[in-house]
Amino acid sequence: MSDTPPADSPTPLAATSEAELFYLAQHPERYPAPLVHAATQELQRRGLVPTEVPRPARRRSSLPSAAPEKPVVLRLLQTLFLPTRRHWATPVLLDINLLVFLAMALTGVAVLHPSGAALVAWGSNYSPLTLPGQPWRLLTSCFVHSGPGHLLLNASSLLLLGTLAEPLLGGRRLLLAYLVCGVGGSLASLAWHTGGVNSVGASGSIFGLYGVQLALLLTQALPLERRERLTLLFFLLFFLVSSVAGSTDAHIDHAAHAGGLLTGLLLGGLYAAHFLRQHWQRA
């Protein structure tokens, strides 16, 4: 029996573009196996790759048969939310954002439309409190969201950027980039909104991850072939432009986005210098 879904059955990556699916399927060594498998299944569903591969005849064995594989959806969910030794920073950050939102809901916050006071209570970047003596709000605000749509948008962006970046940077550098760029975005928000601000969301960190990866790709600091580098660069620029073009709501903190992006470019430059220095030392 093949585990390829029927042609009319949607897969977890049904909304993903063909270019992204082919990139995931062609680089299985860089990404978690369930994610690569899901991409292959979606390509098969669309008729872009064969659904059946000839297999050599199997010899009968006295050994007990292997346990059946878990459903691909379950394996994909485990990959997204359960940290592993090779892929831990992205799931940890994703889980923290989701758990904070869940905790807000369980404690009675109207999470569909939380009040400003509720956001302040949960650690928003509220300038009358952040500036006088609660600087920790620069960071905690990066894990608080103002509604399910806000959370899902940032969570999907974190998932995309983290999945691309973690195999290249490593978990520790990715985690550091998220935190540092989030603080950079919060500081920019305070500096720009001189009349006061009450800001929440991971957007500063998300835009920072764009900046880090752009800096690394533009400096050619990563050991990637030219085609791979240009493909990643195209994806990042496409999603970055899409994010900026979609940020038209008057309540969006554009200063935090810009501050996170600039912080990410600077941090990415430092990462690039480190990687290039390592390369020169080996040469």
For residue 10, what pLDDT band results from cuts at 50, 70 and 90? low
CB-neighbour burial class of residue 132 (10 A; exposed 0-12, middle 13-18, buried 19+): exposed
DSSP tally for the chain: helices H, then strands E = 12, 2
User: Would the pTM count as exceeding 0.85?
Assistant: no
CB 130 within 8 A of CB 188: no
Q: Are 207 and 151 in contact (CB under 8 A)?
A: no
| Per-residue pLDDT tens over the stretch 75-103 | 767 777 788 888 899 999 999 999 999 99
Residue carrying structure tokens 């992205």: 90
CA 84 to chain centre: 16
> Is residue 5 pLDDT above 60, yes or no?
no
Which of the pair, 249 or 66, is modelled with greater confidence?
249
**What are the backbone angles phi and psi of residue 66, rounded to the nearest 5°?**
-70, 155
Compute the 3-state secondary structure of the chain and give helix, strand, coil in percent, each to the nearest 5. Answer: 65, 0, 35
- Segment (H or E) for 198: strand 198-199
Query: For residue 2, is pLDDT > 50?
Result: no
- Tens digits of residue pLDDT in 222-277: 888 889 889 999 989 998 998 888 776 767 899 999 999 999 999 999 999 999 99
Reduced to 3 states (helix: H, G, I; strand: E, B; else coil), residue 199 is strand
Question: Per-residue pLDDT tens for 151-201?
Answer: 999 999 999 999 989 988 999 999 999 999 999 999 999 999 999 999 999
Contact status, residue 260 vs residue 203, Cβ threshold 8 Å:
yes
Terminal Cα-to-Cα distance of the chain (whole angstroms): 50
Chain mean pLDDT for the chain: 86
Structure tokens at 261: 């992006």
3-class secondary-structure state, position 126: strand
Sequential DSSP letters for 157-176 = HHHHHHHHHHHHH-HHHHHH
Q: Are strands 198-199 and 125-126 parallel, antiparallel or unpaired?
A: antiparallel
**Domains of the chain listed by start with CATH number:** 9-51+66-82 (no CATH), 86-282 (1.20.1540.10)
- Residue 1: the pLDDT is 46
**Catalytic residue IDs:** 203, 257
Q: Which amino acid is at 65?
A: S
Q: What pLDDT band is residue 278 in, cutting at 50, 70 and 90?
A: confident
Dihedral through CA 192, CA 186, CA 125, CA 193, nearest 10? 0
